[in-house]
Structure formats: C-alpha cells, structure tokens
Structure 1
Amino acid sequence: MSNLRFLPLALLPLIAACATPQGARQPAPTVKVGLLAINDFHGALEMPRQSVFVPDDKGEAMPVPAGGAAYLASAIDSLRAQHPNHLVVSAGDLIGASQLASSLFLDEPTIEVMNRIGLDFNATGNHEFDRGQDELLRMQSGGCTQHTARKPCQVEPFKGAKFKFLGANTIKADGSTLFPGTAIRSFGSGRNKVDIGLIGLTLEGTGELVSPEGIKGLTFADEASTINAAVPRLRAAGADAIVVVIHEGVRTKGTPNPQGCEGASGPLGEIVNQLDGVDVVVSGHTHWAYICEWPGKNPARPVLMTSAGVFGTLVTEINLEIDPRAGRVVGRSARNVIVQSEAYRPAADRVSPNTDRFPRFAPRADIADYVVKYTEAARQFALRPAGRIGGEATRGGDASSTGGTLGSLIADAQLAATAGAGAQIAFMNPFGIRAPWRLAPGENGQLTFGDIYKVQPFNNTLLTQTLTGAQLRRLLEQNFDGIGPNQVLSPSRGFAYSYDMSRPIGSRIVSITLDGQPIDDAARYRVTTSDFLANGGDTYSELAKGTDRVLGISDLAALEAWLQAIPPRAVPLEERAKDLTPR
C-alpha cells in the first residue's frame, strides 16, 4: 500500500440568492463530525517510556517521547475543542496486560480515567477477557463483587464505565451478544441532522488468546459476516455513515510512519476486502500505527482504515463530512496526532528528547492527581524486594516470537516450583512476557516486585500434566502451524529442540531432547505451563489433551521464589530452541 491519500472533500457550492431560480432550494450544508480514536491502551496510566517513531528530514526514524494518561487527556481535549460534533472511541485492549498501578487494582483506575477523559465507546479486545466475562461485565456495570484472586475496590468504590462496551461478534449460548454490537450517535437537528452508526467487535481468534475457563459459553463469530449483517440494519435505522471499531489490524513495512501504510498486510486487510457499505475502520491489536485508504471490496469506494499504535502514544483524528440530504459521507481525512509528553532516557547512554516539530501537551491536572493516587497505593507492592538476578534477562521486544534469556529464566522458575508435582519440563510462551520485556536489576542484582510484575502481570496458575513424547512433538509443531502467530515456546533447563521453517507445516521440528537424550514418542513426561496455555490458550490445543493434572502456585509467585537464591541466579544463556532454517 502507498502512504495515505486523502479523499477529496465533495464540498457543495454556495449559490448566491440572486442566481437561484425562483422556488429552487439552496443546497443544504454538510455536517462535519470528528472521531477521536485510540487503541491498545493497556492501562498505561503513567508515561510508558515509549516513543513514536516518525521520519526525520533524512527519512530516518526519529523518536518522539509520548504517552501517559494525563497527557492523553490534554491531547484529546485539544482535538475535541476543534470539533463541535465529536465522538471518542477505543478499538479494544483498553485494559489487560496493564501497568502495575492499574493491574494491581483490577484496572478500575483505567476505567475511571477514561470516564474522566470522556470516552464514548470501547470495542472489546482479547485482553478485556483476561479475567473472564464476569469481571468484564463488572467493568461495565461497576460494583465490588469479587471474581478474581485479587480483591476489588481496594482504593475506592467502583462505579463502572460511563462509556459503553461494544461486542457485535461475542455471542452467548442463547444467541444474544454479551454487550451491544452497535450504536448510533446523532449530530445536528432537523434537516441538518446526521447519524453515525458504529459497529464494535473483537477478533474472531479471541477465544484462542484468553483462558477458556473465563469465556465458557461464549463464541466469537466471523468478523466480516458480523459487520456485513449489521450494516443494513444501521442504514435502515437512519445511519448516514458507518464506522467499524475492531480489535484486529495490519502491520506495515519500511521506515515507521504513523501517517502512512507502506506495505501493509495482515488479517484486517482480508476482513475489509469483504465489507460492503463501510466508511471507516478504526482498528488495533497489532500495536502498529497507520492510516490507509484500503481498496476493499470495491476499489472505487475504498475504506479509510486507521490505528493509533499502543499505550495512548497517539490519537487518531478522523474528519468526516456528511451530506444530510444524500445520507452519505462526502469527504473524509485522518491523521495520527502524537501525544508528546516528557523526554526520557531509554538507556544510560541515550535520550529520547522532545521536539518542536510536534505540539507538546501539558498533563491534565485532575488526571495526573488521580493517577498519583493509584501509583502511591501500588508503591508498597512495587518497591518490595523480590529477589536478585546475576545480569539482565531480555526477551527482545513486542513483536518478537522468541522468549530469549528471560523466557528461559521464567521456564526454569516454573520447573522448580512444580517439582513436587513431578515436573520434568516447563514451557513459557513469549507472548505472555509483557512490557518492558526485560529484567534489568538494580544494585547488587536487586529486583523489586514491580520489576517482575511488569514482566508477568496475568496472575496465571501453574499446571503440571502428563503428555506423551508424540504429544510433545505435536505441541512444538503448533509453534509454527499457521493458525496463530509463530511463537517459539521457551523450555526449561535440560530440554532442547530445533526447528526448520523451510519445511512444510507439521514437520518443522527437527530434534527434541531431554537431558541430552532424544524424546521417546511412546514415553510419558510431566510438563508444566500456565493454566492459560494448559487449557489451549495461544492456539496450543495439544496442551488441553494432557492427563493427571495438578494445579500449583501462581506464575508470579514461582518467579519470585526462584529469584530468592543466594548468590543471585545466573541468567541462562544456552540456546534451548535452535532455528536451523537456511538463510
């Protein structure tokens, strides 16, 4: 795809009264509506120490520090002031995999921050279901009923979201939806009234990304068919414009450019190619920032497709111009606005500085004060010593499919924690290792609870079960089966495997050994993973077929216990999952 091409605005000419034939009506003015969109906020209340990369004067990527709820609030306020008619929407993962100050308190502060910012709608994403459907319903309706291991309402009563969750393709056993699937918002009045129809939904694969126990009775329907079924109903209800807010996306290539869409590809493109009658698609999930004119099903009527990256570092400003007489969009444009915050130091020898090329936003005082209330409440947890480590352990980054030394360290911790259940092997999924994707110790190798919580915020329970050697082989083949994104499970010490991606799907595993000996397909092995994986999460369906299951402690407790060793644990450096793909 090429970079963003703005559609020409079909402006209706004003005709002078003297030139208007007697009895003829002047054309009605168009109505302008501003959509302000975010996605994948992930409870990023504090500055996330992230940068938005934009092309500099030489075409190279230049970092601009961005993010933080108080700065996001100011950016949205600034943009909203330019649009008398406006909507603020989120394309999912508003909560889940969150910063400590939000996650420790079940993301209640993120919901309250978005109430204060003035969010109108949030389409559910996969991470909204991390704690199960009952807890997600509590996010909407409020209250202090306990659905998780953590106690709700620890800081203040929780009143729930003032904005609406949307989930058109989240279907209950009786055929109804868990949340409303669509909504209509009206602007203007009389002959100048226009209606915006919204369809909100998550990706069809959500059930493979969350614990099956938490979504019992729910199914996630095909995205394109769900949207196409909703469009005529919204049109019949008077919608002049159709906006899809979906937790699915694409990825781009080339120099990062939040205003462009170079080489975009991914599941969302395939969905949009099937759509009829949609004007705008606000998207997320991939954490990529882009703005595209996607050809879609009808290249003569392309779809404007946008994403604001991740962690509230960008806000997408979408301008719609609607002809109320014709009942259609006659002009549109979009841009990603950087939520420029404060300079920070990503490493001891580097600074991500501010720049005058983009506006700088002052933190909104009420949001900043509210965030401090929760960061202070979390401080007693965050600063508690949680062990030591003999060096930095890293995963590699958000898009990496391998666990690196950090994945190996976590797998070792889980193996040790479940030795009493007979564990011989443990696996850690790299996508379960969250920001900042590293454990960087302080003085004397010291780590705090906040350090390890950032890496493993899901509070999963360890589960040990029996698998045959043949099942182990099929499990490892599921790393690369094309059903979900490729992901190389990190094994515990003593276990090693190699793979060759040039081989056909289903035969990419070259070798598997335990303590230097080849795995016997007929033998039985005790294997530990999180309960999320053990129930088939992340598309590892083979793990759901194990026997003699034993539940253990939480993954976070296992890591903390492993880090209590004296002297500090050495970071495992051996290559346990080896890529033999010819280069």
Structure 2
Amino acid sequence: MSGRPQAARRGLRRATLISFAAAGLLGSLVAPNLAEAKSAPKPRVEDLQLLAINDFHGNLEPPAGSSGTIKEIDPKTGQVVSTPAGGIEYLATELRQAREGKRNSVTVAAGDIVGASPLLSGLFHDEPTVEAMNKLGLDVTSVGNHEFDEGAKELLRMQRGGCHPVDGCYADGRTFEGASFKYLAANVTSEKTGKPILPPYWIKNVRGVKVGFIGVTLEGTPNIVTAEGVKGLKFGNEVTTINKYAAELRARGVNSIVALIHEGGYPASTTYNYDCGAAGAGVSGPIVDIARKIDPSVGAIVTGHTHNSYACAIPDPNGVPRSVTSAASFGRLYTEIDLKLDKTDGSIIRPSVTAANHVVRRDVPKAPDMTALIAYYNKLAAPIANRPVGYIGADINGRGSSDFEKPLGDVIADAQLAGLAAKDKGGAQVAFMNPGGIRSDLVYRASGAEGDGVVTYAEAFTVQPFTNMMQVKTLTGAALLALLQQQVSGLNDAAPKILQPSANLTYTLDLTKKGADRILATSVRLDGAPLDPAATYRVAANEFLAGGGDGFPAFTTGTDKLVGPSDLDLFTAYLTTNSKPGTPLTVPAQTRIKIIGAGTDQD
C-alpha cells in the first residue's frame, strides 16, 4: 500500500482538467465596462461536487485481465502503461475519501450499472450490485441499454424491490429492497401510455439551489438489446428529450441542470488522462453531435456506453465550451466534476466547471462493508462458481483484444458450431458470434484457489453472461454474403462490427474500400468452397444476432428456425470436451479474416 496521504496521492494523479475561465474562453462573449466590473457585486455561490461513474456492469470484484486495467502515461518514463484498477471495495474507499471536506456532493452514473455482469452479480439477477450501489452512496443514474437485458419489468423491480418472480428471494429469505438511488429514463416511453416508464429527471436541493438531473439512454437501444427486452417500449431522440425536459425544469425554477446520457464518444488516445484539446477536437462519435445540440441551460454532461475515458470541452449551440465526461467502465475510474452554483439565479456558473478522471487504484484500503457483501454472495455462489469447466495454456483474449478477429471470439464461434452441427441439434454449417457479446478474457493466471490455467464456471459466465438461447436458421448464400457486408455497411458503416466466424469460414476484409465493398465477395469460402448465392446454408447465432441485433437484418430473412441451448451452455461444454489437465485449449491463430489496409496486411 502507498504510504502517501490520500490528498497527496490524488494530487499526483495525472488528470485531464477542464477550466474554461482560465482559458478565457468566455472573454469574447462578455466584455463589461471595467468600472462596472469593479463595482458589480460578486455573485453568491455554492460549491457542488459531482462524482460520476458509468458502465459498471456488476463488476463487484476486481475485473480480470485487460478488463481490470487502465492505460496511463508513466510520469517517469513517458511510456503508456497498464495499471490494475477497479473493484467495488476500492471504488467505495476512493469515493468516500473524495467526498471528505466537501459540503455538497452528489454521486451520479450514466447507465449500465447492471447487466452483462460477472457471475457474482448476474447469478442473483444483479441484486448484489444494486445493494452495493446503495452502500456506495449513488444518488441517481440514467438507464442504459443493459438495464433492459431482462425487460422493463425487471428494471422496475431493480428500482422498487421485491423478490425475483421466478427465482424468488436469495438473501436468507429476506425481500430485496430495491435501489435507494433514482433511475431516470426520460426518453424511454410506454407504447401504450406514451409516458416515461421511470421519472425523466430528479431534482436535488443544494442549500437553496435546485439542481436538476435528466437521464436518457441512447436512441438506438432497440438495435443492441433483444426484442423481448424492449418489447412495448419506445426510445426517443436524446437531444429532443433533454431539451424538452430542460425547458420543463426551467419552468419549475430549476436553472442548474446536468444531463446523464448513456451514449458516448471515442477519444483519440486510450490513456485515461488524454487532453481532448481545444473545442473537443480530440473526441469523436455520437456524443459530439449530441453535445453540440443540447440546450445551453444544461451546464454539464456525463456520458457512458463506449467504455472510454475522457474529460473534454465540447461547444454548446452558442459555441461556448461545456464539460463532457466519461469514466471508462467496470469501476476502474471515477470522474470528479466541481462546479459553482449562482445562488442569485440558481444557475451553474459555466466557467467554474472543472472535471478530472481518477484511477481507482488497488493500493487503498478496502471498504469493509463491500468486502462483507462480496463474501456473503460468494458463499452463496461458491457451489456453482468454483466448478472447473476447462483448461487453457495461455490468456485467450476477447474483450481485451483490439483485433477485428478476436481469439476468444473464434473459440466461442467454434463452440456454437460444435454444439449445433448435428442434424437433431439444428444441422448448423457455420456459426457467428457478435463481438460486443464477448464480455471478458479467459485469463491463465488463477483468480482463486483453482490453479493457473483452470477455467471455472464463474470465469466462463463472465465471458458469456447473457445466457442467450442459440438459434439455427436457413439463409441463402446471397443473404449470408449480405450478412458479412452488413458488418461494414448500413448501421455499421462508420463503426464496423466484425462478427467472429467459426473456423470453416474465411474471407478478406479490405479496409481501403468503402461500405459493403470492403467485403471481397469472391474471397468468401465455407469449408474451402466458394459461397454459392443460390444455395442454402444452416447458420447458427445467438438469439440477439438472429433477431437482427447490432445492425444485421440479413439474419431476419432466415427460415426453419430451431432454438437450441444457451450460448453459455455450449461454451462450457466445448471447454470441457476440448481441454483436459495437461492438454489445455490453445490460442486460435486468427487466420479466418484476412485484413488489407490496416497499416499492414493482417492474416
């Protein structure tokens, strides 16, 4: 453990700071007479600290592999290094220490607090994470797309409490009390009533100044959640919704407004303390256009979804820089946003806003209440969690791989084909896995007492936590080619989503071309033979993909659907069948997709 006092440690953190006043960015907008400026009374202000997280995804224990590190620049060498980070025991300590000495502090989040969670939380329908967030002091969060993984009714149970309708109560028979923090869903409305399914905003009285928080998720949520999860719901435009409720808040006398948005951007650097530069030029993605259009009355924007870290300034519709932040994911960072409230008119003094991301390092004391919570649920989960299901000889990266073809994606696709190839199982001839569904890596180093190279059920669950049911459909060769082209066209044109194929499918991806042409049609081979547009093929995918999710409508043209076991069941069965002590599973060679134009050609 570090011997430095906490204040000194935080002072040494390299953090991206936004300070509009220091940069003189408002000077051209306000140029008062000097004498008037000297005589004008100073505004009465109230300081407010916001502590923000996003995309926690139930990671109560420190995440394993690359999911549990943050990239930063070593101040001694100037090199980019990966620092271990995350874990609710450390996050709780960091946030509690950050609040010390602060008269006013509010803890906020930008969605995906639950969903796609490791076994410790997912096995209990994320009740442990909600309990942890209650203890953590979370005040308010927007919903994210993963809050809808189990549907709107389950989301409402997370807010209101009550035992699970199927699995009942877990903790010694006591009833789950629900979230003490507020879920906001301003742009998620019921198709029947047209009204938000949860409150659109929350108002906090900060010593006489009313501060409003508006929460939205991305408009495209239905494209990345199973159809059953968003059944009966509509998702409105982020900007339109925020501006609507900002006006409503102002009409209620609330002039300090913060937006919590589960949509994000892509900074030019992966280091957590990257300086976005003037006018947010160093960040791209959906949040840039959204931030530029949100009403200027919104004083700060907290974002998520992309799992990136940034503390940037993006101009509002009047061209005035405004704080836009994101704290990576899995509790590895938190953002500290300090602002001043004008007690005269109740507004956020925009030039006062500063924001910095801080690493949740693992050299601070663990929070005892969080340690106790983890131990309690680990005891309940142990009979299932600790069961060995396979063996690996080295790390097999999935979430932690930046390659289009991910080693763990190859393994998962092979597992799906192996489990569904038999005639009575669907007769699958090829399988595809969506990259976003790979939630972690398989790490060689032991996470507990199981030993190095042993894959436990809990570790397999962390990789495939959705337990999506598998489907096998008949697609024409033309539809199969369209499927491959949709990886780099349509909804995925700007940000390709490269499916992970089973070993018997190969093709070339040419990044020097545009749109669908990036898939070289003549290069596609299945079992070594060219794809025949007129032939039919049995294609396996999880129910999310098979329903057209992630921008793949070609899947919906399939016929003769057969529903199989869950993706997790096939994954664990494959690991058990294909690896033994002494003969572990090896890392795939990543030779299924030949890539041209990524700096150098990649095989």
Range class of TM-score, shorter chain: 0.7 to 0.9
Match of 1:47 in 2: 62
- How far off is 1:306 after superposition? 1.2
SS in 2 for 1:447: strand
Verify: 1:183 aligned to 2:202, yes or no: yes
Q: 1:394/1:27 Cα in 2 relative to 1: closer, same or farther (>3 Å)?
A: closer
Match of 2:45 in 1: 30
Q: Is the 8 A contact 2:257 2:348 kept in 1?
A: no
SS in 2 for 1:279: strand
> Which residue identity is paired with 1:200?
G
Query: What is the CA–CA distance in structure 2 between the aligned matches of 1:259 and 1:124, rounded to whole Å?
Result: 27
The 5-angstrom pairing of residues 41-440 of structure 1 reads: 41-49=56-64, 50-57=68-75, 58-146=77-165, 153=170, 156-173=174-191, 174-188=193-207, 193-254=208-269, 256-258=271-273, 260-262=275-277, 263-277=282-296, 278-299=298-319, 301-330=320-349, 331-342=352-363, 361-389=364-392, 392-395=395-398, 397=400, 400=402, 402-419=404-421, 420-436=425-441
Cα distance per residue 1:247-306 (max 9 Å; x no partner): 11112124714363252111101101111222100111121111112123222x221111
Q: 1:473/1:341 Cα in 2 relative to 1: closer, same or farther (>3 Å)?
A: same
364-373 or 437-446, which moves further after superposition? 437-446
- How far off is 1:81 after superposition? 2.6
Identity %: 41
Over the residues paired in the alignment, what is the CA RMSD in angstroms?
A: 2.5
Verify: 1:465 aligned to 2:473, yes or no: yes
> Which residue identity is paired with 1:39?
N
SS in 1 for 2:560: strand
- How far off is 1:482 after superposition? 5.2
Q: Is the 8 A contact 1:388 1:565 kept in 2?
A: no
Verify: 1:528 aligned to 2:531, yes or no: no
> Which residue identity is paired with 2:197?
L
Cα distance per residue 1:228-261 (max 9 Å; x no partner): 1111111111112110011111121247143632
Q: Is the 8 A contact 2:315 2:321 kept in 1?
A: yes
Match of 1:18 in 2: none
- How far off is 1:393 after superposition? 2.9
Query: What is the CA–CA distance in structure 2 between the aligned matches of 1:483 and 1:254, rounded to whole Å?
Result: 24
Match of 2:595 in 1: 579
SS in 2 for 1:362: coil
SS in 2 for 1:270: helix
**Quick one: which of 457, 464, 469 aligns to 1:449?**
457
The number of residues matched between the two structures is 543
Q: Is the 8 A contact 2:490 2:551 kept in 1?
A: no
Match of 2:514 in 1: 504
SS in 1 for 2:491: coil
Q: Is the 8 A contact 1:36 1:318 kept in 2?
A: yes
> Which residue identity is paired with 1:429?
N
Q: 1:115/1:567 Cα in 2 relative to 1: closer, same or farther (>3 Å)?
A: closer
SS in 1 for 2:114: coil
Query: What is the CA–CA distance in structure 2 between the aligned matches of 1:380 and 1:482, rounded to whole Å?
Result: 45
- How far off is 1:151 after superposition? 5.8
444-453 or 85-94, which moves further after superposition? 444-453
Cα distance per residue 1:468-513 (max 9 Å; x no partner): 1111011111111152431221111322222212222122221221
> Which residue identity is paired with 2:275?
G
Q: 1:395/1:72 Cα in 2 relative to 1: closer, same or farther (>3 Å)?
A: closer
Query: What is the CA–CA distance in structure 2 between the aligned matches of 1:384 and 1:175, rounded to whole Å?
Result: 47
> Which residue identity is paired with 1:296?
D
Q: 1:447/1:93 Cα in 2 relative to 1: closer, same or farther (>3 Å)?
A: same
The 5-angstrom pairing of residues 529-548 of structure 1 reads: 529-548=541-560
Q: Is the 8 A contact 1:240 1:322 kept in 2?
A: no
Query: What is the CA–CA distance in structure 2 between the aligned matches of 1:38 and 1:81, rounded to whole Å?
Result: 18
Q: 1:232/1:562 Cα in 2 relative to 1: closer, same or farther (>3 Å)?
A: same
Query: What is the CA–CA distance in structure 2 between the aligned matches of 1:402 and 1:255, rounded to whole Å?
Result: 17
SS in 2 for 1:506: helix
- How far off is 1:181 after superposition? 1.1
Q: 1:136/1:501 Cα in 2 relative to 1: closer, same or farther (>3 Å)?
A: same
Q: Is the 8 A contact 1:401 1:430 kept in 2?
A: no
- How far off is 1:100 after superposition? 2.0
Query: What is the CA–CA distance in structure 2 between the aligned matches of 1:298 and 1:471, rounded to whole Å?
Result: 47
Query: What is the CA–CA distance in structure 1 between the aligned matches of 2:72 and 2:314, rounded to whole Å?
Result: 22
Cα distance per residue 1:56-81 (max 9 Å; x no partner): 33433244432211221122222223
Cα distance per residue 1:294-348 (max 9 Å; x no partner): 123222x221111112111222111121112133222222222322214xxxxxx
Query: What is the CA–CA distance in structure 2 between the aligned matches of 1:47 and 1:410, rounded to whole Å?
Result: 24
Query: What is the CA–CA distance in structure 1 between the aligned matches of 2:496 and 2:40, rounded to whole Å?
Result: 61
> Which residue identity is paired with 1:394?
N
> Which residue identity is paired with 1:133?
A
Q: 1:319/1:377 Cα in 2 relative to 1: closer, same or farther (>3 Å)?
A: same
462-471 or 310-319, which moves further after superposition? 310-319
Q: Is the 8 A contact 2:396 2:441 kept in 1?
A: no
Verify: 1:490 aligned to 2:496, yes or no: no
Q: 1:77/1:415 Cα in 2 relative to 1: closer, same or farther (>3 Å)?
A: same
Runs (4+) of structure 1 moved beyond 6 Å?
439-444
SS in 2 for 1:538: coil
- How far off is 1:389 after superposition? 4.6
